[in-house]
Amino acid sequence: MTKKVKIGLIGLGSMGSTHLDIYSKLNDVEVIAIADSIQSRLDGSSKAEGNISGQAEGGVVGLNVKKYLDGMDLINNPDIDAVDICVGTDLHFIFVEAALAKNKHVLVEKPLARTYDDAKKIIQLAKQHSSCHVMSAMCLRYWPAWVFLKEAIENNAYGKCLSLNFKRQTSFPGGAFYLDGNQCGGALLDLHVHDTDFINYCLGLPDAVFSQGYKGPSGDFDHVVTNYIFNNNSPLVSSEGSWTMQEGYGFNMSYTANFENGTLSYLLDEDETLKLFVAGSDPEVINLKEGMGYEFEIRTFIAEILAGNKTNFGLLQQAAKTIAIIEAERKSIEKCSIEPVKT
């Protein structure tokens, strides 16, 4: 009989609900416990919604698992192999610390922590608990259109990459957590972090950043535009993230990558379209692997546990350093200056 990884899931917001949906599709996983501080989420009388069609569609109604109002009580359940942490960003560190203290494997939603200092502490804790697999859920690393882009850059598929531009825009998500910039870090940390992390993952740590932005409903920077400065002949790189769009705007996730011999353009729409433009040819629609990055990151996490693999500290440290980039972006906005990225 195939061993199943027994999961305890903490947090039933949009991401926790999304993860719960994905676990229900996997044969080598059994969710045995869930936790949320909001009773209506536990009993299914209220439910969070996701940004993207197909996200957070299921629910907890009919789910025969142990339910806790306190995530710490879930962590103390000795039957759980791995803890999936989908709580507010400001709580990531304390739950990771508690889960590792109980020798649980850990998947923690993005960003890894609220601050770079806390992210570095998580790295140290993961090293101290080497039998546990710790992974940061940075979904773009696994999203088919972004996987395709990274491979195109690394393989010079269309010649040298000359420029990269990323956009991620939506209306304000609402809710007490997002209204408190001290907890969520504004769109700068909660939303824009996706693209900053992918840039770090794909090209390495930038030498400096120049960012501009303005504050929104969170009281923190909720719209940001950043140029990432590399001193190693890398492409021109920029990204824009915002949750200040007007209500009804929807969710826009896109990129444009210009190469010597082609241009890739991706837009999240009903068909999730990635197109290749080459001079003298008709635009080509690139067929992508079906599915969202959330699913592939979770499949990777479970496969690593079942294989007995240790934490990939290269990837985990990248996720931590992404927060250092974000903090440099914050300083750049505040000072209207080019800021070095310090790690």
- 135: enclosing H helix or E strand: strand 134-137
Rounded to two decimals, the pTM is: 0.95
CA 16 to CA 36: how far, in whole Å? 10
158 — phi, psi (to 5°)? -125, 30
Closest listed residue to residue 276, CA positions, set 289, 268, 264: 264
**Residue 33 burial class via C-beta count within 10 angstroms: exposed 0-12, middle 13-18, buried 19 and up:** buried
Decide if 80 contacts 98 (C-beta within 8 A). no
Domains of the chain (ranges, CATH numbers): 5-138+295-300 (3.40.50.720), 141-293+324-340 (3.30.360.10)
Closest listed residue to residue 233, CA positions, set 161, 339, 325: 161
In this structure, the dihedral spanned by the alpha carbons of residues 194, 286, 237 and 253, taken in order and rounded to 10 degrees, is -40
DSSP code of residue 114: S
The tens-digit pLDDT sequence of the chain (343 residues) is 468 999 999 999 999 999 999 999 999 999 999 999 999 999 887 777 666 666 556 677 678 899 999 999 999 999 999 999 999 999 999 999 999 999 999 999 999 999 999 999 999 999 999 999 999 999 999 999 999 999 999 999 999 999 999 999 999 999 999 999 999 999 999 999 999 999 999 999 999 999 999 999 999 999 999 999 999 889 999 999 999 999 999 999 999 999 999 999 999 976 779 999 999 999 999 999 999 999 999 999 999 999 999 999 999 999 999 999 999 999 999 999 999 999 9
And the tokens for 82? Answer: 């791995």
Decide if 257 contacts 161 (C-beta within 8 A). yes
